[in-house]
Amino acid sequence: MSWIKEDELNLLEKISANVLKAGPMPKHVAFIMDGNRRFARKKHMERQEGHMQGFNKLAETLRWCKHLNIQEVTVYAFSIENFKRTKDEVDGLMELAKQKFLKLLDERDNLEKHGVCVRVLGDLEMLPLDLQELIAKAVITTKSHNKCFLNVCFAYTSRYEITNAVREMAWGVEKGLIRASDVSEALLSECLYSSNSPNPDLLIRTSGEVRLSDFLLWQTSHSCLVFQSVLWPEYSFWNLCEAILQYQLNYKSIQKARDLHQEHQALLQLEADRACVAEHLQHHGNGKPADAQRRQEALLHYTTCREERIQDFLEALKHKRDSYFSDLCSKDVLA
């Protein structure tokens, strides 16, 4: 089945969509698509069939999001913990993924028409090489599209993602691109797999479980969490509307909390910069305490240098990540 569904909403759905759009709408929604296996048990079908139905529901949900002007969607497709499942099930899921990415490459014209950019987030080296190559091709093919964004978390857990971000910053320090004192919350966010996306506004988990299961723990600290009891393959447009309504009810208070957090972050950064400048002036000063003007100039200069350093480091990181994908692609071409 296809990644893109072209059907329109019916009249009632259109009206409801327009009513919802009168209020604040989430720009980025994350889904934990839970319940495929329970659905399969319920309908007396094979597990694999349950996962297939789950994928179809994903395509349908993307269509609804498009109609609701939700530009970015992130989904939890396969966790690193899922490798613990039986070999049969894991192999089945890898096969399903391969088929789906092949289909995606088939539909590249359609994806271009709709401007869909597909990104895959996770520790991709854990996957079989042929799947990695397909993923690389899919990512590179849709890279320049910018109307809507689909992030698929595959071989992903949040703790691995955060650890990887710390490792990348340590790599930057090793290469002399940044200093340890440059490490901040903002920089860590830029080093996550999801650095090209804003934080999700809304996180939806289906099938009634009320936990995050190691998904986007850093990014969803100030997101609206909605837990719905419907199984993923049975998800409907109205379930999505219900979740968005929850988001709208929480909008003001979450926005307030976000702003408070950002203010605090900015304050911490300023304090850190001041501390570094004070230390620098102490070491390189002429023994006399610096006046306020000199301190201010030094602070400005330090902040500018720090920001330049960080930009260069992020460029280098981006280049490293892009090369990973292009190397995989060229390997396939040579093979």
- Other C-beta atoms closer than 10 Å to the C-beta of 52 total 19
CA contacts within 13 A on the Cβ side of 291? 1
Minimum Å gap between C-beta 327 and another protein is 19
Contacts to another protein from residues 224-253, by CB under 8 A? 224-227, 245-246, 248-250, 253
Q: Which stretch binds another protein (CB under 8 A): 42-50, 75-83, 286-294, 324-332?
A: 75-83
- Does the protein bind another protein through residue 199 (CB under 8 A)? no
Buried-state track 133-163, b at ≥16 Cβ within 10 A, e below 16: bbbbbbbebbeebeebbbbbbbbbbbebbee
- Other C-beta atoms closer than 10 Å to the C-beta of 235 total 24
- Other C-beta atoms closer than 10 Å to the C-beta of 73 total 22
Element (H, E) at 154: strand 148-156
Contacts to another protein from residues 93-152, by CB under 8 A? none
Please say whether the beta carbons of 128 and 94 come within 8 A. Answer: yes
Q: Which stretch binds another protein (CB under 8 A): 131-139, 164-172, 277-285, 308-316?
A: 164-172
- Does the protein bind another protein through residue 21 (CB under 8 A)? yes
Minimum Å gap between C-beta 36 and another protein is 13
Minimum Å gap between C-beta 154 and another protein is 14
Please say whether the beta carbons of 65 and 26 come within 8 A. Answer: no
Q: Which stretch binds another protein (CB under 8 A): 107-115, 254-262, 311-319, 322-330?
A: 254-262
Number of chain positions touching another protein (CB under 8 A): 63
- Sequence letter at residue 172: G
Query: Contacting another protein (CB under 8 A), which of 102, 129, 260, 275?
Result: 260
- Does the protein bind another protein through residue 270 (CB under 8 A)? no
Nearer to another protein, 260 or 305 (CB): 260
Both tokens of 249, joined, read 């009810």
Binding mask 28-67 for another protein (x = CB under 8 A): ----------------------------------------
3 state SS for 27-94: CEEEEECCCHHHHHHHCCCCHHHHHHHHHHHHHHHHHHHHHCCCCEEEEEEEEHHHHHCCHHHHHHHH
- Does the protein bind another protein through residue 269 (CB under 8 A)? no
What is the C-alpha end-to-end distance of the chain, expressed in Å? 29
Contacts to another protein from residues 290-309, by CB under 8 A? none
Footprint on this chain of another protein (rule: CB under 8 A): 18-23, 79-85, 157-160, 162-163, 165-171, 173-174, 179-181, 183-185, 188, 209-214, 217-218, 220-227, 245-246, 248-250, 253-254, 257, 260-261, 264, 268
